[in-house]
Amino acid sequence: MNENDDNTFDDELMARAAKLATEVKPDRDLWPAIEQAIGEPVRPNRSVWNSVWAQAAAVVLLVGGSSSITYMAVSDGGDPILPIAGTQTLVFEPVSGSFGSQYNLGPDYQDARRGLVAKVDDELENLAPETREDVVKNLDTIRQAINDINKALAEEPDNVLLQELLLDTYRYELSLMNKVDGITRAAMRRGDI
């Protein structure tokens, strides 16, 4: 191949390169991973599904929590069940605004919860096997609901309904643990959360 041939071939090469496709369709849709990474829910049907899922979980925990508390009330002699604290009526105030994407449980609430979890774990050993099984089952249900709602909140951090459900669920957990532990505590006010 002489120099002229080389140049011609080189020119052809560049001409061919300019014809190569600059747009290529990927084999799969890459958007779902991007959407997840940027942390913003886009598809309404998914959001609706998550809300429904969280609400369903909340209903399950309401039934479970109620049945557990009722069962324990009957099993320990029919003492009236007091709402969370012994003497104060818990008033749930509707959320007036969004927590945004950075909502957190307050440190006082977290401390109280950690302390109660440790005490309840000890107290469970003192319960009758049937009662213990029932309490553990209900606590598991409540905690699974907390996880479910948190997952839904990760996708819809500004969903006020989900935020309320999460707070209510934590309250049910506290209520049940308080009952188990037999502790009379000051009501966990909304300001603690």
Partner 1 sequence: MPQVADIPHDESRWVRLAQAADARAFEKLYRAHVDKVYGLCLRMTGNPSEAEDCTQDAFIQAWSKLSRFRGDSAFGTWMHRVAVNTVLGRMRKSRREQDRIRAVSDVAPVQESIGDNAELRDLEQAINELPSGARHVFVLHAVYGYSHGETGDMLGIAEGTSKAQLSRARRLLVQQIETERS
Residue 21 lies near partner 1 (rule: CB under 8 A) = yes
Residue 4 lies near partner 1 (rule: CB under 8 A) = no
Q: Which residues contact 149 (CB under 8 A, 6 or more apart)?
A: 54, 57, 58, 162, 165, 166, 169
Stretch touching partner 1 by CB under 8 A, among 25-33, 47-55, 78-86, 90-98: 25-33
Residue 125 lies near partner 1 (rule: CB under 8 A) = no
Residue 128 lies near partner 1 (rule: CB under 8 A) = no
Residue with token string 């308080």: 178
The correct pick among 2, 4, 23, 77 for binding partner 1 (CB under 8 A) is 23
Provide the mask over 33-72, with x wherever binding to partner 1 is found by CB under 8 A and - wherever it is not: xxx-xx-xxx------------------------------
> Of 6 and 130, which has the nearer Cβ to partner 1?
6
**Is residue 50 packed enough to be buried (19+ CB in 10 Å), middle (13-18) or exposed (0-12)?**
buried
Residue 30 lies near partner 1 (rule: CB under 8 A) = yes
Angstrom distance (rounded) from CA 68 to CA 114: 21
Residue 89 lies near partner 1 (rule: CB under 8 A) = no
Provide the mask over 67-86, with x wherever binding to partner 1 is found by CB under 8 A and - wherever it is not: --------------------
Residue 3 lies near partner 1 (rule: CB under 8 A) = no
> Of 38 and 128, which has the nearer Cβ to partner 1?
38
DSSP string covering 43-109: -HHHHHHHHHHHHHHHHHHHHHHHHHHHHHHHHTT-PPPPSSSSSPPP-PPPP-S--GGG----HHH
Determine how many CB atoms are found less than 10 A away from the CB of residue 174.
21
Q: Is 183 helix (H, G, I), strand (E, B) or coil?
A: coil
CB of 137 to partner 1, least distance (A): 39
Distances (CA, A) of 47 to 26, 40, 154, 155, 156: 27, 11, 11, 7, 7
Stretch touching partner 1 by CB under 8 A, among 32-40, 77-85, 92-100, 149-157: 32-40
Contacting residues toward partner 1, per CB under 8 A? 6, 9-10, 13-14, 16-28, 30-31, 33-35, 37-38, 40-42
